[in-house]
Amino acid sequence: MILDAVRAAASRLFSPEFRSVFLKTLGLTLLALAALWFAISSLFEWLALPWIDALLPGLPAWAGLLGLIVAGIGLALGLALLIAPVTAIIAGLFLDDVADVVERTDYPGDPPGRAVPALRSLVLAVKFFGVVILGNIVALLLLLVPGINIAAFFVVNGYLLGREFFEFAAMRFRPEADAKALRRKYAGTVFLAGLVVAAFLAVPLLNLLTPLFAAALMVHLHKAVSAREPV
């Protein structure tokens, strides 16, 4: 079931039907990440550099340059951890566009879903943004623990991203409480699908398409899960 959903979602990523939402999703994701990079680097220059100059006065020029390089690497790693919550916000804006395309092209005989109300969708996305930030802070701390470091990234993001995207997809067809209950009933399946999303998220450049892929994947998965439910 999961493999079928993954294949179906991947096959649509660069299809003509997805082109409009693809460009909007990619553009907004790049814009958000650029804004975050500027904000984080500006905050570092404002807070950290004066403190370093005061603590270590008279540093040679090469040491300052080396410090900037190290800081740049640190900022890049920090930005990588923010990709997951950024995708949550983007998904809240474009999930319905993705779902409309998937439902229209792959399930033309089924009743279409209803768009999640814009305000509710935004509230859920902002709430999830905070949850993913906290989850990835925990994952970052666990990177220091031998034996579970890298696995923590996949487990945390697999759970959180799987839960969020599946519930968004399910709420197009059922009330929020029922969507959450369905996700809990198929928690293992949703988590495994979330691990696929987390693996997608870990691939540089390709991870910019995470909202598009994850939304399409969970629409297919919700369709498959719903077919198993008693009428």
DSSP annotation string for 12-51? HTTSGGGHHHHHHHHHHHHHHHHHHHHHHHHHHHHHHHHH
pLDDT at 19: 79
Residue 62 has pLDDT above 50, yes or no: no
The vertex-24 CA angle with 23 and 25, nearest 5°, equals: 95
Position with higher pLDDT, 29 vs 181: 181
Nearest Cα to Cα of residue 101 among 115, 80, 85: 115
Residue 10 has pLDDT above 60, yes or no: yes
In angstroms, rounded to a whole number, what is the distance separating the alpha carbons of residues 138 and 23?
32
186: confidence class by pLDDT, cuts 50, 70, 90 = very high
Between the ranges 36-50, 95-109, 213-227, where is the mean pLDDT highest? 213-227
pLDDT at 188: 93
